[in-house]
Structure 1
Amino acid sequence: MDKKYKVLVVDDATFMTKAISDLLESDPEIEVIGVARNGLEGLKKIKELHPDVITLDIDMPVMDGLQAIRHIMIEAPVPIVVLSSLFSDGSITFEALRLGVVDFVAKPSGAISSDIHVAKQQIVDRIKLATSVNFQNIRRVRVRRKNGADPSLSQSPGPLQSLAVIGTSLTGPNSFIRLMTRLEGGLPAAAVILLEISPKILPAFVEKFNEFATWKIAIAEDGKMLEQGVCYIQSNLLALTVEQADKHGEACFKIGGPTDSPLDTLFISAAAVFRERTVGVLLTGYGDDGSEGFAAIQKQGGKTVAQSVESCVYPNLTDSAIKRNRVNMVVEESRLAEAIASLIRKQS
């Protein structure tokens, strides 16, 4: 028999550990090798059992989930998939993703064991993907809370000259937090990113992110006009496009149903509106979405940037685009903010 994915389930509710264990072991490739009732017990069992990945609740006694993540990432590093009902708490969702969990999955309402099967495939998929991360590239993001209002955000926005469109998938929120806490404010551009993140989590995530980001962070909503100095976020579960709203060249968002290639859809639409004033960016992620969108940006005279394969948690997105010659610049994660700002300034 082929090697199975070994999972440790950490949750203080007995019925939930059983429900999660039964759900995971319904897949023949997954084996639950143990359960723990709190973060402290989970940390001990990680060291004893050496799981490939753990599922982790947040609201637990003795040592809660966030405390556990901090200890685990230092003392016994292992990929973590958070499974919690506390997705509406912005501090928790942001902090967990900042600290480097693979994903934060919203536990079904009420945490009813029968209801959790609605999310079965998503949870099983996350477990399998989590085992293939380039773990040495997972790091907590060091953030600094803003001291008062950013002067660049209080000024009346000037004309929108460029648009940075950013794509990623699983583990992308961590890289994106790092990017948007480093990208200088005051640039004559807007930015928009598609994240592999639950729409349920997005409002709380955006609210908390605004305490640290150099730009204003907002949700990309249907019909919303794009403004300079704002970074818009939407879930890649939806088709997001940029459209020309009027004859004066103002741009707005349109949101459609699910699509198999959300990054290509966004990038192609942005290139059609902003043409040579488009900067395309691919961060860490799996799959090959975004390459065709990069080709459209290049065709219109815009520039494309990819995070280097060596610095990615998942290299697939950027590797695919690089191999297809769709990338103008390959940049280490630590230099992405500088590279994007330079390209925007050149387009101004």
Structure 2
Amino acid sequence: MAINVLVVDDSGFFRRRLTEILGSDPRIKVVGTANNGQEAIDKTLALKPDVITMDYEMPLMDGITAVRAIMQRCPTPVLMFSSLTHEGARVTLDALDAGAVDYLPKNFEDISRNVEKVKTLLCEKVLTVANGGRHMRRSAAAHVRAERLPLRSEAPTRTVETSAVERLPAPKRKAYKLVAIGTSTGGPVALQRVLTQLPANFPTPIVLIQHMPAAFTGAFAERLDKLCKIRVKEAEDGDILRPGLALLAPGGKQMMIDTRGAVKILPGDERLNYKPSVDLTFGSAAKSFQDKVLAVVLTGMGADGREGARLLKQSGSQVWAQDEASSVIYGMPMAIAKANLADAIFSLDDIGRHLTEVCQ
């Protein structure tokens, strides 16, 4: 059965091109288009699409307002289009806050010149968003009660497998030298949910690896810093790990950690799919701190983090994974669980509390 998509954009050109690109994939069917936020709400209620692609700047009602209304009335996975600017990053983060699931850069030149590349990226993103729709709808519905994060939501129902893991003895308190958290799709909201639970005097340095474009990570770090009791900043070469400080890997680059606790920021390697890569940061942490790392893998597409987690486990460190029920996309945490690398599997809303309990 084809995935039904509603395309929302005030540009006739963009609507036509997206409709053509998505319609060229037999797995996808564009069931309607809209040119403003109010029309998007009306057509969502009428057509019940599986996925909505949404622009931000539109007449009558902008995309963020439309996303909030859709999540209240008919929660549906939304893929936002955004510009690769600081302002575009801010708007995109607001859209994720409102309930959007993921985003793609809106680049008219790519749409015109690199049709095959755009087709592959867009169609696979839409299919992934649709396949995770059950979790996305649950996650989206949890966002609507607050205008800003940290968000409050009811704890999702745990699976039998998750409950079984959580009944195991809790990880022992330990003087970890580092907490390393890796995530991708759904990560901006997930990280906010975890980090806002940590006290200002959280004793362990933290590094964050979020798949995100270079133009976005600075704005995201600023947002986290305003919301959290701990300090959060975009990592720079030479930064030193400190208690109560979380360093966010810059987009388009790689973040490594040496034995002195200093951060090294390296150019992104074009041979690697992810820039930043969770595997690379986890691997460097394993080499530098051996059994003194607590790694957490949150919601995300793919399996980045699995091999780095394997190295951490071989060094004696602990690895946690987010459970399926609370994940927007159960890809990265599932890869950890299926490889038997998880020492514990927790619901998203429990992770911050457990971090505070075990780090000393």
Task: State the TM bucket, normalised to the shorter chain.
Answer: 0.7 to 0.9
- The reply on whether 1:257 has 2:269 as its aligned counterpart is yes
Residues paired across the two proteins, number: 324
Other-structure match for 1:108: 107
Check whether the contact 1:56–1:84 (CA below 8 A) recurs between aligned residues.
no
Shift of 1:218: 1.6
Check whether the contact 2:176–2:293 (CA below 8 A) recurs between aligned residues.
no
- The reply on whether 1:323 has 2:334 as its aligned counterpart is no
Alpha-carbon distance change, 85 to 288 in structure 1, aligned in 2, over 3 angstroms: closer
Q: Which amino acid aligns with 1:59?
A: E
Alpha-carbon distance change, 86 to 66 in structure 1, aligned in 2, over 3 angstroms: farther
Superimposed CA distance per residue, residues 271-327 of structure 1 (whole angstroms, 9 cap, x where no aligned partner): 211222211001112323323322322332322211122222222322232232211
Shift of 1:86: 7.2
Structure 2 residues not aligned, in runs of 5+: 151-174
Shift of 1:235: 5.8
Alignment of 1:187-226 (within 5 A): 187-226=202-241
Shift of 1:161: 6.2
Shift of 1:337: 0.3
Other-structure match for 2:126: 127
Alignment of 1:80-159 (within 5 A): 80-85=78-83, 87-89=85-87, 90-108=89-107, 114=112, 117=115, 119-133=118-132, 134=135, 135-138=137-140, 139-140=142-143, 142=146, 143=148
Check whether the contact 2:279–2:304 (CA below 8 A) recurs between aligned residues.
yes
- Separation in 1, partners of 2:11, 2:264: 42
Superimposed CA distance per residue, residues 114-166 of structure 1 (whole angstroms, 9 cap, x where no aligned partner): 26746443322211111011232343285469xxxxxxxxxxxxxx9621111
Shift of 1:84: 2.5
Other-structure match for 2:172: none
Alpha-carbon distance change, 272 to 112 in structure 1, aligned in 2, over 3 angstroms: closer
Check whether the contact 1:86–1:92 (CA below 8 A) recurs between aligned residues.
no
Other-structure match for 1:154: none
Alpha-carbon distance change, 123 to 321 in structure 1, aligned in 2, over 3 angstroms: same
Other-structure match for 2:328: 313
Structure 1 residues not aligned, in runs of 5+: 146-159
- Separation in 2, partners of 1:221, 1:164: 18
Deviates more, 1:55-64 or 1:134-143: 134-143
- Separation in 1, partners of 2:85, 2:220: 9
Check whether the contact 2:281–2:308 (CA below 8 A) recurs between aligned residues.
yes
Other-structure match for 1:336: 351
- Separation in 2, partners of 1:121, 1:233: 29
Check whether the contact 1:93–1:204 (CA below 8 A) recurs between aligned residues.
no
